[in-house]
């Protein structure tokens, strides 16, 4: 199997788009060679722990309502173009995502990482849920077969928070400036939300290399 590491943030719309397109390619190739691991990258590492009002956040970041609309128009157009429905009006909070990243880490230990990442994206972009809310995160954990009580106790502690921040910082030090970023086999970085066709070419290239006889 070939390792596919994905740096992502569950409130990043391009990450949601990128995952959707990757998923479509992998569904078309159920025998794909990838084993996938998700890694933390916070879009807003300095976000207050309680998060903030979504509109206030966007207007502050993009210089007012018009600037926010201009920044998000390509995202909205791309999502619509691939048939991905995002309920923008339901998103009222921009959370600090450190706890969501901790949940993704714990899910990886239990081999449930992909399920949790999927649920986090849907909870935020389709249901407008606050991913900084411990009750929301525990409910997501419960929905994929994790122990919600254990997750809640961990969330109420500082377990693995320093490690998540260190991993985030290490990615930035290595030159990652945005997400999603995909790293194939620990060597080849593929930045941005790539179309299924690109992933199909990557899979075909990997398989051709695997099929080559030694010494060819």
Domain of residue 67, CATH code: 3.40.30.10
Phi, psi for residue 70 in degrees, rounded to 5: -65, -40
Q: Which of the residues in the chain have pLDDT under 70?
A: 212-216
Task: Tell me, yes or no, whether 207 lies in a domain.
Answer: yes
Task: Tell me, yes or no, whether 133 lies in a domain.
Answer: yes
Task: Tell me, yes or no, whether 72 lies in a domain.
Answer: yes
How far apart are alpha carbons 117 and 38 in whole angstroms? 8
And the tokens for 8? Answer: 């992502």
Task: Tell me, yes or no, whether 106 lies in a domain.
Answer: yes
Task: Tell me, yes or no, whether 15 lies in a domain.
Answer: yes
Contacts of 170 (CB under 8 A, 6+ apart): none
Q: For position 215, what pLDDT does the model report?
A: 45
Q: For position 214, what pLDDT does the model report?
A: 58
The tens digit of pLDDT for each residue in 61-117 reads 999 999 999 999 999 999 999 999 999 999 999 999 999 999 999 999 999 999 999
Structural domain that includes position 27: 2-211
165 in Cβ contact with 174 (< 8 Å): no
Give the whole-number percent of the chain exceeding pLDDT 70.
Answer: 98
Task: Tell me, yes or no, whether 113 lies in a domain.
Answer: yes
Structural domain count of the chain:
1
How far apart are alpha carbons 58 and 74 in whole angstroms? 15
Taking phi over 0 as left and psi of -120 to 50 as alpha, with beta for the rest, 213 belongs to: beta
Q: For position 210, what pLDDT does the model report?
A: 82
Task: Tell me, yes or no, whether 216 lies in a domain.
Answer: no
- Residue identified by tokens 């419960």 is 142
Task: Tell me, yes or no, whether 46 lies in a domain.
Answer: yes
Q: For position 216, what pLDDT does the model report?
A: 43
Handedness of CA 52, 14, 100, 186 (dihedral sign): negative
Q: For position 168, what pLDDT does the model report?
A: 98
Q: Is 159 helix (H, G, I), strand (E, B) or coil?
A: coil
């Amino acid at each position: 199997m070939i390792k596919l590491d994905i740096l992502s943030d569950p409130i990043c719309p391009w990450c949601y788009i990128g995952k959707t397109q990757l998923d479509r390619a992998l569904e078309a190739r159920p025998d794909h060679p990838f084993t996938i691991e998700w890694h933390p990258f916070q879009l807003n590492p300095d976000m207050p722990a309680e998060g903030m009002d979504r509109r206030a956040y966007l207007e502050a970041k993009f210089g007012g309502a018009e600037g926010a609309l201009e920044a998000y128009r390509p995202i909205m157009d791309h999502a619509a173009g691939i048939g991905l429905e995002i309920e923008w009006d339901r998103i009222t909070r921009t959370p600090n995502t450190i706890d969501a990243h901790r949940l993704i880490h714990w899910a990886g230990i239990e081999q449930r990482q992909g399920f949790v990442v999927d649920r986090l994206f849907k909870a935020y972009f389709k249901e407008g849920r606050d991913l900084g809310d411990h009750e929301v995160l525990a409910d997501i954990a419960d929905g994929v077969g994790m122990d919600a009580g254990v997750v809640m106790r961990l969330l109420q502690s500082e377990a693995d928070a320093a490690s998540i921040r260190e991993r985030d910082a290490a990615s930035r030090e290595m030159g990652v400036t945005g997400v999603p970023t995909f790293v194939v086999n620990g060597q080849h970085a593929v930045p941005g939300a790539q179309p299924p066709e690109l992933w199909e070419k990557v899979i075909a290239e990997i398989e051709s290399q695997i099929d080559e006889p030694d010494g060819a």
